[in-house]
Amino acid sequence: MIPPKPQQFASDNYAGICPEAWAATQAANAGSMPAYGEDPWTARAADAFRTLFDKTDAQVFFAFNGTAANALALASLCQSYHSVICAASAHVETDECGAPEFFSNGSKLLVAPTENGKLTPAAVRALATGRSDIHFPKVRAVTITQPTETGQVYALDEIRALSATCRDLGLRLHMDGARFANACASLGCSPADMTWRAGVDLLCFGGTKNGMAAGEAILFFDPALAEDFGYRCKQAGQLASKMRFLSAPWVGMLEGGAWLANARHANACAGRLAAAVAGLPDWSAMFPVEANAVFLQTPADQLDGLRAKGWRFYTFIGGGARFMFAWDSDPVRVDALAEDIRSLSRRAA
């Protein structure tokens, strides 16, 4: 055994597997079953998604991680000469090592400068209509991250406005939902209202950050778009041979509501930290706290002080400290972090 260290909030991927996903994995381990997704767990997980999204004809696929899910989803919309509009801070642009371009054989990401990490209809329109000549990669799709990499949530009206713009311009709309559950918990809306009823064509629903060991689901709300997608997954090394272990955890997550309970807890922990450090001298929130992320701007010596107290965090977005909360975040540790920040702040003041 390797004993665990005190909990950190550097990433929501530091968390372990939640009990519901773990129990379903164990249940799926009983005996032998067909491979490559031909098993009853995989059928049941896909049905659970169709029920959750109130969409009987949704086509559901499972990939090992979010990078693959996003890259293959976008590749399925594009020919190599197409392009995809995304926000400058989008994970597909900044954190996937060019996977969307690679798996699409060269479809270019067109980066929109944004004020707050959210794409707007105006930004989409400007990029999509700026060039239409043969020398520029033809714009084919838009991808939005819900919630954004900075923890902000697109309101339903904002998604609807973007999808209306997409329809007007003949573009498809993809949603990177690596933290989709956190956005649902934040808005208190149904998964259907946030996706296909708001005009989203294609969703990557994150399981890993929601409490699973691994796995993201790809949902096509327009079944025609899913044609041959299974081949794409297989070619990319994303068809799990023992698929039931990728799909069964989803049954555990979706059927009993753990997906939402986990996200609510994570969001509440982010709110708890944000409230506890609000108004401190030298510390300020960089973005509105709307999901499970808190970004705090502070001078470098304060960051060093916090590290010296043993806390781990990233500063790759805007130089501030990023804290991410997961299903297992312990409120006692959240309070300990807040107290350490407060004590540093007092010393500086």
Kindly list the residues in this chain that would bind ligand PLP in the complex (CB under 6 A): 65-67, 70, 91, 145, 149, 176, 178, 208-209
The CA-atom distances, in angstroms, between 321 and each of 189, 263, 275, 283, 328 are: 30, 21, 16, 10, 20
When the beta carbons of 18 and 178 are compared against ligand PLP, the nearer one is 178
Rounded to the nearest whole angstrom, what is the least distance from the CB of residue 337 to ligand PLP in the complex?
21
Q: How far is the CB of 34 from ligand PLP (least distance, A)?
A: 27
Structure tokens at 12: 């929501």
Q: Is the CA virtual torsion 277, 279, 280, 283 positive or negative?
A: positive
- Which tokens sit at 168? 């007007």
List, in sequence order, every beta strand (DSSP E) within the chain: 59-63, 82-87, 108-112, 138-145, 172-177, 202-206, 216-220, 284-285, 293-297, 321-324
Nearer of residues 117 and 271 to ligand PLP, judged by Cβ: 117
Q: How far is the CB of 280 from ligand PLP (least distance, A)?
A: 27
- Phi and psi (nearest 5°) for 194? -85, -10
Pick the closer one to ligand PLP by CB: 236 or 348.
236
String of b and e for 308-345 (b: at least 16 CB within 10 Å)?
eeebebeeebeebbbbbbbbbbeeebbebbbebbeebb
Q: Which is nearer to ligand PLP, 179 or 265 (CB)?
A: 179
Least distance between ligand PLP and beta carbon 10 (Å): 13
Question: Minimum distance from CB of 205 to ligand PLP (Å)?
Answer: 11
Residue nearest to ligand PLP (CB): 66
Can you tell me which residue has the tokens 């999509």?
A: 128
Nearer to ligand PLP among residue 39 and residue 216 (C-beta): 216
CB of 93 to ligand PLP, least distance (A): 10
- Choose between 69 and 78: whose C-beta lies nearer to ligand PLP: 69
